[in-house]
Amino acid sequence: MSLRELDDEIVDAELVDDAEVAIVKSPAPRLLVGRDTVLHPGQELPTASDGPTYSERDLYVSPETAAILQNTDPTDTGPMRALKVWCAQEGRVPVPCTTATYTEYSRHLMARGLKVSTIKNYMSQIKTAMPPGKKPDNSLYLRLLADYRKNNKRALRRREAFPLTLAYLVPMMEKAEADGRPIGIRDAALFAFGYMFLGRSREDVDMEIEDLTIVVDRMNVWLAEDKTHKGEDQTIPLRDRPDDVQLIRRMSCWLEYLASHGITTGPVFRHLLKNGVPATEETRAKTATARGLRLRPHVVNERVKHWFAKAGLVGDGRPITSHGLRAGAATDLAANDATAQELEEAGRWASGSTAVRLYVRPAQAQKKNAFDKIPVHNPSKTSTLHADAVHSEAAPAADSLGGLAKGL
């Protein structure tokens, strides 16, 4: 290489004396410290170079784990699906949504006239479903909700489920069994269990065959946890009754039917195929949901409404839902002088729960009437009118029960 060529090759250099050495310093490692960093005397400040070196294997989950995570997608709830539809119409991004979108959607729910409790439930589920670190601020939404609560008193009203007391429960179970199909056997067992267990709808349908132990006069139910007792398992004895509830008979009949199809483990209350055969992992593979073989709570709602209507029963305008099984048992207990503490223990409510008062107060109110203290005016005329009223109301009441209430 000629000198001229060497000069052309060197494009950026610095001349130094013979005694000097050119030192090129690399950037210092980035410090990993924050306001929560705590160091002991003598420890050096942690830097990015102190951390472990990850490979691709540290970043991937297994196919089995991925399948479970996909089936438990937090953005696949009812409120989230509704949010996505609304965002598509409004040209907004649903996940992760901005605080402005979150706030505006809450006002959309309020414009629909939904109950305060429903709006709070929906907005809570939506915020929970957002990715970590990208959850919207709910302070503006809460200001809107406070104003909505103040100016829409009817939105505070809670529509409690119609209580399926024994006068309604027994005709429903008898009608289901008279149907003669496996679905009737399952539903009758589900209704008897829901009433005696005083369970929440999700607890009922989450039961596994392995959780139940049936002896002569009772059934022991193992419950891993419930809404009130997080992380605390319980074994709850359900004693049979000498009346038409027939918990042990109905549950035994259903479990024997499952066993006749080789099913002795897994969900107790599961889907049935059109031919009445209990669903299995293989037969439900094409139509499986996140719930798998288990009935979903809304399916139980449908079955309750179905047999309520089939039995010719008439409510009072309150919703007919699966929660009516729990409400019916609580109402029967309260009407027969069960204390608040006894109700809390039977239904696994928290001590001092306001829900218990919803059952105790109406039952007590029916037994008390402040106007009884006032002497009856013209007793002879009043007794005649009362007798006529009782006679006119008794016939349709008996008809509404299909003549089956006489066995209670």
Domain boundaries, the chain: 68-156, 166-340
> Residue length, the chain?
408
Q: Does domain 68-156 have CATH number 1.10.150.130?
A: yes
Least confident of 9-23, 66-80, 177-191, 243-257: 9-23
Predicted local distance difference test score (pLDDT) of residue 396: 39
For residue 383, pLDDT beyond 60: no
Predicted local distance difference test score (pLDDT) of residue 370: 77
Predicted local distance difference test score (pLDDT) of residue 252: 96
Cα dist. 235→46, 54, 81, 248, 249 in Å? 51, 46, 37, 17, 20
User: Any bridge partners for residue 164, and if so which?
Assistant: none
Mean pLDDT of 113-139: 92
**What tens digit of pLDDT does each residue of 176-235 get?**
999 889 999 999 999 999 999 998 888 899 999 999 999 888 999 998 877 777 778 889
Alpha carbon distance 245, 188 (integer Å): 10
Mean pLDDT, the chain, whole residue set: 82
CATH number of 166-340: 1.10.443.10
Report CA Rg, the chain.
33
The whole-model pTM stands at 0.64
Predicted local distance difference test score (pLDDT) of residue 18: 54
Cβ atoms of 220 and 237 closer than 8 Å: yes
Predicted local distance difference test score (pLDDT) of residue 362: 74
